[in-house]
Amino acid sequence: MAQYDFEIHVVEERGGEQRPDRSVAQGYIDEKPFLLIVVTPRTYTLSWAGQFNFQRLERELFHELPLVLWHNAPRWAARFLPFRIFGSAALVTANRDSEDEPFSLRRFEKIGSPEYRSVLRNQRIAFARYDLKFWSGLFGHRTYSFTAANPEYYSESSTLALQLQRRHPPTAELFSWLFDRSKFMRENNLRLDPHVVEKQTGLFLRETGLHA
């Protein structure tokens, strides 16, 4: 498995226009852009061409990702400590039996509702957006949004996007989670030096003012 460097640089907006309330950064691997980062006064958003298993959608969002966001939590925390997830979802389902309406949009105010469970269990998901709050009495809470397009229904690369609150800056663990779900990384059989990821994360936080 080849090993490459990882760099993050603040870049100009398209057209060269600079906005005082927003900054944009680009993530590069071997000098090739693969990650876009948009920072606003309250949030920051990471978007990239991803590889995402829709059969593990809830596993990723409700178990794997929270452990990354609480990077100081032990691996056994999600299994043994009480936690709750609140939030809403918007799912685009594929209608194979309808040529007139090949897709349907379904919105759910509560992700635990019977209707939501039925759609997730019986329908094929083409696109998903979740707005979530993960709460733990021991580790506090995180608010995050996640969107994913199922590559089965898109001719271009599936785009993944994760939006987080600015008061919870990204960590090297979060970038590592992202790399594991990156189409670019998998297709090129790449891995990154953890020390390089740690260093570049620190530089990025200082350049964008995201550091705690």
For the chain of 212 residues, list the mean pLDDT of each consecutive stretch of 10: 68 66 82 86 90 83 81 57 82 78 88 90 90 78 89 75 89 84 76 76 76 56
Q: Classify residue 91: in a domain, yes or no.
A: yes
- Do 40 and 3 fall into the same domain? yes
Q: Which domain holds residue 165?
A: 1-51+158-212
Helices (H) and strands (E) in the chain, counts: 7, 11
Instruction: Calculate helix-pair angle for 194-208, 172-180, nearest 10 degrees.
Output: 120
- Do 127 and 76 fall into the same domain? yes
Q: Classify residue 172: in a domain, yes or no.
A: yes
- Do 42 and 109 fall into the same domain? no
- Do 122 and 198 fall into the same domain? no
pLDDT at 128: 93
pLDDT at 1: 41
- Do 117 and 167 fall into the same domain? no
Structure tokens at 186: 């998998």
pLDDT at 186: 75
Residue burial 167-205, b: 16+ Cβ < 10 Å; e: rest:
ebbbbbbbbbbbbebbbbbeeeebebeeeebeebbeebb
Q: Classify residue 151: in a domain, yes or no.
A: no
- Do 180 and 104 fall into the same domain? no
- Do 60 and 88 fall into the same domain? yes
Number of domains in the chain: 2
| CA–CA distance, 100 with 64 (Å, rounded to integer) | 37
- Do 73 and 113 fall into the same domain? yes
* Structural domain ending residue among the three candidates 79, 111, 141: 141
Q: Classify residue 188: in a domain, yes or no.
A: yes
CB-CB contact of 170 with 201 (8 Å) = yes
pLDDT at 89: 95
